[in-house]
Structure 1
């Protein structure tokens, strides 16, 4: 690829050399061009395959990003629900703590009842043991009464103690269950937060991968465009070499007829042109058509579109660029689309060749003009890009091309 510029320079020199040099050297540059184009086209195919691979990767990555975003949303909803349950559980614990407080107060009250009963028993029987109370009975009936009273007090105390233990056990079980529930919810919340962090990290990595793929795609597209431009330039040079070779072959086939008249002057008959004379060309060309085709190459995508512009200093509009490019080869043509649409000779699109003017019906009929490069591409100053190469076999320019082609050389 690096030898393209040197090759184009060499070919340019060959195009202006003598007929002898043409016959002995020209075949090699043409073969070199064909070899170079084959390399470029192979690189183009490789670039297109890589672009296709990148697009597939981007599509797959977009699916992953969508999945991660869905997981992120679902995890956020789960976290929200878990936090809500944690708040509810804390409220439930607060209620249980209130119940605990009330139960503790009941237990305290029951303890006071037992205490009072014991005091009452001691007041009735004195500061003595149960046995002494029984032995202190005055008669058998009094003994039975005392035994019955002691039994009832014991049974009542036993029932109160049993209820106290049951309430305490139930309270502890309920408290433990709710505390376990809170612990489980808190652990779930911590796990969800860790999962959220992992998902966010994955999302950031996916976005970084997507950015890298986009940059790779842009680089490949730029490389493809560069290769297409080089291929178009080489195609134009090859076409010029072939055209000049064909012209020499046709010139060599013309039979020179000489007659002696008067002072013996030799008259040579030239080939008659089979097309109308070029209009508005003020002088014979001083350069080849390759000069026209390559004039704008140094300014690709760097000079803006300027209405009425006609030089690299100011920028170009479409007709100004075309007129300037031909002027570099010593071919003077008008600098307005209205005048250019009738200059030279009209040719059919089936006979188009590099260097022909192509017109497009944009804001008006023949409102835009460019220079055909070959392979369905033309160079011109476009309103959106400035000086650039564009394809005319599909898309916008194909839609606006009506087949108007002019030849001015």
Structure 2
């Protein structure tokens, strides 16, 4: 009897110890689940906040696109105005030439009508005082008319000069408008991309946290099941031990083995998961960069000059119309080289070089509005080809008055 009692006490002690182990683990898991739940909620709040910011940026982009469409309409009207101004200039020049011919004709008419060499002789040959007054009046009107013609001619010449200045100013303003449009578009796209990256990062982090929480929940379920099985085994063991000591010892042995196996299962599972993650991290290939293949300039050059004369189009990336960065992206893509979409992004992605180091095929950047807003392909000898708002895809000189004041530097595509 005493031996059986001792056996029962030992079995009870072993059962309690084995039962408490999963309970302690369960408490730790509960704490982990709580922490991951809080983390998930925090990430969700951050994601919503960034999503709201992204929505605001998207709205700003839509407004900018609308404004751009309106400005493009104005730019088209400006082009028509330029044509009209040139036509007016031609008309004014023709008027000036006609007026000069008219003045010469009037001078000849006075001479013929007066049959004299000048106005004085014309008046002195008057036959009466009334005739003098009449001839003087004629001369006065002729002189007055000629003076008015001279004044009109001088005014028209000034108008021609003013129209020419206005034409040049309009052309320059048109280029600046296009630069501002691209700068605004670039800035908003950059903000949008940054916010999208944050949203994606938060979503990924949240997904990892949710996966981690699911693993903790699975571990907790396994631990609870193990504890229940141990409790059932303990009850059964005590009942058998009261009738047969030998059988009790066997049951106790089996109970301990089962408890150890059940307790180890979630731990082994978690260890295996950790090892799998570690292997996945180790097997992930490192990011590499591919240098530009030799001889790529030939392909870039062929593509660039192949679309020379293509009109400027805000946001354009095809042969139907290009903006500056859309053109450079198109030309380099023909050589299998990928460039970012905007001028500022291309500037950031290129290796900065000096003017003396620049070679044909490098990029040249300009700042007309306070940030990088124009890009072209350097051709050497101070020239570049790019999509200009005033001329479409064309070759221009960097040292020209306009571009010389805005050039920022050169970049090489890596």
Give the TM-score range, shorter chain: 0.5 to 0.7
Shift of 1:79: 1.6
Partner of 2:230: 241
Shift of 1:182: 5.7
Partner of 1:215: 204
Contact 1:82 1:185 in 2 (8 A): no
Are positions 1:194 and 2:183 aligned together?
yes
Contact 2:222 2:266 in 1 (8 A): no
Q: Distance in 2 between matches of 1:148 and 1:122?
A: 16
- Which blocks of at least 5 consecutive residues in structure 2 are unaligned? 1-6, 249-253, 273-414
Partner of 1:49: 38
Shift of 1:131: 4.7
Partner of 1:60: 49
Shift of 1:50: 0.9
> Relative to 1, partners in 2 of residues 1:234 and 1:296: Cα closer, same or farther, differing over 3 Å?
closer
Contact 1:86 1:186 in 2 (8 A): no
Q: Distance in 1 between matches of 2:161 and 2:24?
A: 92
Q: Distance in 1 between matches of 2:266 and 2:208?
A: 23
Are positions 1:79 and 2:79 aligned together?
no
Are positions 1:109 and 2:98 aligned together?
yes
Shift of 1:94: 0.8
Contact 1:89 1:178 in 2 (8 A): no
Residue of 147, 151, 158 corresponding to 1:158? 147
Q: Distance in 2 between matches of 1:46 and 1:65?
A: 28
Alignment: residue pair count: 260
Moved more, 219-228 or 22-31: 22-31
Shift of 1:106: 1.4
Question: Can you list the C-alpha shifts for 1:331-370, whole angstroms capped at 9, x where unaligned?
Answer: xxxxxxxxxxxxxxxxxxxxxxxxxxxxxxxxxxxxxxxx
Question: In structure 2, the residue corresponding to 1:115 is in which secondary structure?
Answer: helix
Contact 1:93 1:175 in 2 (8 A): no
Contact 2:36 2:213 in 1 (8 A): yes
Question: Can you list the C-alpha shifts for 1:185-214, whole angstroms capped at 9, x where unaligned?
Answer: 543332221010011111211221122112
Residue of 230, 237, 260 corresponding to 2:219? 230
Q: Distance in 1 between matches of 2:157 and 2:100?
A: 13
Shift of 1:98: 1.0
Partner of 2:297: none
Shift of 1:289: 7.5
Partner of 1:147: 136
Shift of 1:126: 4.9
Shift of 1:113: 0.8
Q: Distance in 2 between matches of 1:29 and 1:178?
A: 94
> Relative to 1, partners in 2 of residues 1:122 and 1:21: Cα closer, same or farther, differing over 3 Å?
farther
Q: Distance in 2 between matches of 1:119 and 1:211?
A: 88
Partner of 1:393: none
Partner of 2:108: 119
> Relative to 1, partners in 2 of residues 1:286 and 1:144: Cα closer, same or farther, differing over 3 Å?
closer
The higher-RCO structure (CA 8 Å, 6+ apart) is 2
Are positions 1:37 and 2:26 aligned together?
yes
Contact 2:22 2:223 in 1 (8 A): yes
Larger radius of gyration: 1
Contact 2:19 2:230 in 1 (8 A): yes
Are positions 1:98 and 2:87 aligned together?
yes
Partner of 1:360: none
Q: Distance in 2 between matches of 1:107 and 1:38?
A: 101
Structure with the higher fraction of residues in helix conformation: 2
Question: In structure 1, the residue corresponding to 2:53 is in which secondary structure?
Answer: helix
